[in-house]
Chain A
Amino acid sequence: MKLNDMVITVKDLNLFYGDFQALKAVPMDVKRHHITALIGPSGCGKSTLLRTLNRMNDLIPSVRVTGSILLEGKNIYDSDTDVCALRKRVGMVFQRPNPFPLSIYDNVAFGLKVAGLNDRHRVDEIVERSLRAAALWDNLKDKLEYSALELPLDQQQRLCVARLLAVEPEVILMDEPCSALDPMSTGRIEELMLDLKANYTMVIVTHNMQQAARISDYSGYMLLGEMIEFGQTAGIFTSPHDNRTQDYVSGRYG
């Protein structure tokens, strides 16, 4: 893979919660316009790793990080990093849909207004484009003033994706984005992720191994803070190199 194919390169990443080491010399490459999945049993460090990618772990006081995470070649842990700007470039969708208690329109327009964009015509355009990209526009275009909290859960989750798309992130992080959804809604979010791949780079953490298999291009299997195996998803699920990966993906462990 060429260097500029990589949006994010993680090198030798260690993370400590106080005395506890949650990540151990982790490497990872995130390829542009691909979906990368992190899998592994509870407590293996996959969510911790995901949260290092936009420095969400900074919010926990006892955290200490060594190693580097290059975003387009620049280390995001450098002291001159603007963390707010970083989180705009690397956005996050959470486990449970978390729309603001505002209208559908205002949810999507929120980030734009915070960024100081007041041109109503321009905001309208971006709201429509974002809702279209999240496959919501056709259903919701006549209900933009309705409260976002009235939407079914999978539409709420897609609205959270639209809210993120409005501020044009380079990378979308997803932490168990379907764990609160039923199988049909999960299917719709997965199809959305596959559609978004044409324009966005995504990293997803999932407990659902089958989901990682279905939608990701690259997968990393983590165990006890280590990246045991990282590679193309087809390879990880048909002929993994490490016996521990083999045991996990075939359901013998975890």
Chain B
Amino acid sequence: MERHFDESLQALKHQLIKMSAMSEVMIADAVKAVVDRNPALMAPVWQREDQVNHLQIEIDETCLTLIALHQPAAGDLRFIMGAAKTNAELERLADEAVNIVQKAERLLKEPSLKPFRIIPEMAVIAQGMVRDSLHSFVNRNVILAREVLLRDDRLDDLKDAISLEMTDFMAKDSASVARALDLLLVSRYLERIGDHATNIAEITIFVVEGRDVRHHSDSQPHLA
């Protein structure tokens, strides 16, 4: 039997989709501001952060009200708990996009260190992880969620590659230290975005299967 309550759960999904779409655009704009040296892309990131913050409060209110009014159990309860946690992850990954823009403000005042290769690739992977983790959450797709978990390794490897490259710049030319450090941090923020997406994927697996896979706990047989 289709319940009126299901309409409320559907509306909650739509709020999360809206927030995730906004966060993805923020990441894309922030990285483009750095890579294309385009200052016009910075202001929209700040504006969207405001909207994301508002959405975070709205979604928390929705979750609180649904729990208070409907006393959800089992799958419904896991979904609403998962939505509240996903909400926090989305807000924090949007903050990472803002961090990138803050670095862009400084980087754009200096000449470019070198053509960008790794950071754009990291941005594409991070955006894809955000999109797919949220997609897996709203569509209860654990296969996609597990696939998102695997992609995080590539992001970590790329971040390590940038670390090496930037350390090399700093060692050779002290004038490059500030810029190299900022780019290192940009890669760190992208890597963190991947971590938030990973968390959403883990939340999805918990919501769908009722199994907590954080901290590799699903490799322990007694929890399987």
Q: Which A residues have a C-beta under 8 Å from some C-beta of B?
A: 187-188, 191, 194, 210, 213-214, 233-234, 237-238
Q: Which B residues have a C-beta under 8 Å from some C-beta of A?
A: 1, 3-5, 64-65, 68-71
CA of A210 to CA of B69, assembled, Å: 7
Contacts of B4 in A (CB 8 A): 191, 194
- By the criterion CB–CB under 8 Å, are B69 and A213 in contact? yes
CA of A163 to CA of B65, assembled, Å: 34
Cβ-defined partner of B70 (8 Å) among A188, A191, A194, A214: A214
- By the criterion CB–CB under 8 Å, are B68 and A213 in contact? yes
- By the criterion CB–CB under 8 Å, are A210 and B68 in contact? no
CA of A233 to CA of B66, assembled, Å: 11
Closest 5 CB pairs between A and B?
Answer: A237-B68, A213-B69, A194-B4, A234-B65, A238-B68
- By the criterion CB–CB under 8 Å, are A213 and B71 in contact? yes
CA of A223 to CA of B200, assembled, Å: 45
CA of A188 to CA of B1, assembled, Å: 9
CA of A233 to CA of B65, assembled, Å: 9
CA of A213 to CA of B1, assembled, Å: 20
Contacts of A210 in B (CB 8 A): 71
Shortest CB–CB separation between residue B69 and chain A, in angstroms?
4
- By the criterion CB–CB under 8 Å, are B3 and A234 in contact? no
Shortest CB–CB separation between residue A211 and chain B, in angstroms?
10
Knowing A214-B69, A214-B70, A233-B69, the reply to whether A238 touches B1 (Cβ < 8 A) is no
Knowing A191-B3, A191-B4, A194-B4, the reply to whether A213 touches B70 (Cβ < 8 A) is yes
Closest to B62 in A: A234
Cβ-defined partner of B68 (8 Å) among A187, A191, A194, A234: A234
Contacts of A188 in B (CB 8 A): 1
Having A187-B3, A238-B64, one finds 17 other A-B pairs with CB under 8 Å, namely A191-B1, A191-B3, A191-B4, A194-B4, A210-B71, A213-B68, A213-B69, A213-B70, A213-B71, A214-B5, A214-B69, A214-B70, A234-B65, A234-B69, A237-B69, A238-B65, A238-B68
